[in-house]
Amino acid sequence: MKLLRYLLLLLVVTSFSACEDFLQRTPQDQPSGETFWQSESDFDNALTALYADMQEAIYSHEVPNFDNLTDNSYGQHNYGNSQAIVEGSISPSMGGYISAVFSTAYNNIARANIFLNNMGAYGGDDISEDQRMEYEAQARFFRAFNYWKLYFFYGSIPIVREPLTLENQIQPKSSAEEVINVFLEDINFAIENLEDTHYADNGGHIVKSTAQALKARVLMYNAYDDNGNSNTEVLNQVVNITENIMGGGYQLASDYSDVFRTGTQEGNPEIIYSIKFLAPSNTHPMDMWYGDWLVVSPLQNLVDAYEAIDGQSIDESPMYDPKNTFENRDLRLEKSIFVDAPAFDGNTHQPTNSLPTGYGVKKFLTPGLMPYGFSTLSQQDWVVLRYAEVLLMYAEAQNEVDGPDQSVYNAVNSVRNRAGLPNLDQNLTQAEMRDKIRHERRIEFAFEGLRYYDLKRWRIADQVLNSVDDGILPYSFEERHYLWPLPQSQIEQSNGELEQNPNY
């Protein structure tokens, strides 16, 4: 059944060609109404294509590269023009991620809009009203996900909720507040109408808790103002949402690595949403990129941030051995980062690319695919949302609202204990607990693309990044970089409708 679904997915993906310059031309991914949108199976196929949109590299196996924009790592291959972003040379015409995030999100929004428009017009009786609502909820989740990406990177952007035509293809910007409200409309509809079951039990389809977890993540971003001050009203919403998920049967996987490895992802109790892949036809180059090409090179300051096994920093712990730096450390260090070459059970792969920092990313590598290369492409799923994030979002929000009560300790300690670390000291102040939670997020989610998000929402990106002293590149982060510029190509083709973000 799983193989059949993926073969069907591939068929649908190839029949839905990608949109380009979405604001300047009518989307080209809608098949003729005479041959499509005529039955339940057509809508099933189109919904499968919406899931397949998430396989875009920028949303799946390329996500670790976003840590190269932070104090976590360096990107020697300069994917997405990451080096220029780190150095602060951000401009509307630079291409790379500045344009790719924009176009990818709008391409996917266009497909969701086409699906929703045709679902609304469909009069067949082979789809029940409940099924219609479920279909719409899934499509609106994906539209919400893409609006969240646009909101985070650009702030004020055009809101497009209908298929574009020659008459409406040029759209002005809406305010950031209007964008987040559109996200909330879609995600709230998804929460109300998706299956209320555990993600592992729903055949790879998103569920209510998937939408709840995404909403909580976005609210966490909105919970801090431009000065880094927290909003108690928003954080109380996060507490309520995460408490609901915490009562939904999720739990941490017993082994940290199981979340990220083929063979232990299906049915994993921690995964709340993952982007699915299946070999041999539906693969990606994650193992080759990170195990052989060294696309992401961890920096020494990140390696040093992992605690010793007694829960103390390496500067304080008597258990830290500077001659054997990976011994007696937080278990996540050895599971996430390798020195010189990746090794599993005595088998080693010697990378063909250089190691600029002496380290590589081990976290997502599949032991059985060595030697890594074009002949051994990967099928592991990319995990987008997982229970550890829910626990740490709850802990952060609750600590900001009421201080470090026992529930905050319980949430943080459960994540730490899996990593072999002891419980936190019981008498932490609110500020001390805040620092512990922020540290825990950096370590737990290393190379999962959340560090850039965290530094920006806490409004400490300038402070942290401008203080990096062990990077291969000189870091420069200015206030204007909290938002990226809109791609210059879109500005020029909008007939004056699109206004550039400030200071670009």
| Backbone phi, psi, residue 298, to 5° | -60, 140
The per-residue b/e assignment along 320-337, b for 16 or more CB within 10 angstroms, e otherwise, is: beeeebeebbbbbbeebb
Is residue 230's pLDDT more than 60?
Answer: yes
- The closest of 356, 357, 362 to 342, measured between CA atoms, is 362
Range ranked top by mean pLDDT from 114-123, 209-218, 493-502: 209-218
The pLDDT of residue 33: 56
To the nearest 10 degrees (0 to 180), the angle between helices 387-402 and 208-222 is 40
Does the pLDDT at position 300 exceed 90? yes
Residues 306, 72: Cα–Cα separation, whole Å: 12
| pLDDT for 451 | 98
pLDDT of residue 17: 38
Pair 55, 275: CB distance under 8 Å = yes
What pLDDT is attached to residue 22? 45
Element (H, E) at 274: strand 271-275
Name every residue whose Cβ is closer than 8 Å to that of residue 139 and which is 6 or more positions away in sequence: 47, 50, 112, 115, 116, 119
- Reported as a pLDDT band with limits 50, 70 and 90, residue 165 is confident
313-331: pLDDT as tens digits: 999 999 999 999 999 999 9
Per residue in 105-136, pLDDT (tens digit) is 999 999 999 999 999 999 999 999 999 999 99
Query: Chain centroid to CA 416: how far?
Result: 22
Sequential DSSP letters for 77-104: T-GGGHHHHHTT---TT--THHHHHHHH
The pLDDT tens digits for 426-463 are: 999 999 999 999 999 999 999 999 999 999 999 999 99
CA nearest neighbour of 254 among 268, 273, 275: 268
| Euclidean distance between CA atoms 93 and 476, whole angstroms | 19
C-alpha angle 23/78/274, rounded to 5°? Answer: 65
Element containing residue 453 per DSSP (H, E) = helix 451-457
Q: Averaged over 253-270, what is the pLDDT?
A: 97
Using CA atoms, how far apart are residues 16 and 22, in angstroms rounded to an integer?
Answer: 15
Give residue for tokens 């905050």.
408
- Name the nearest CA neighbour of 41 among 122, 137, 144, 143: 122
Q: How far is CA 357 from CA 43, 169, 470, in A?
A: 49, 47, 9
Domains of the chain: 2-193+486-492 (1.25.40.390), 286-380 (no CATH), 385-458 (1.25.40.900)
**Is it the case that residue 7 has pLDDT exceeding 60?**
no
The answer to whether 422 and 311 have CB atoms below 8 angstroms apart is yes
In degrees and rounded to multiples of 5, residue 168 shows phi and psi of -120, 15
Average pLDDT, the chain: 93
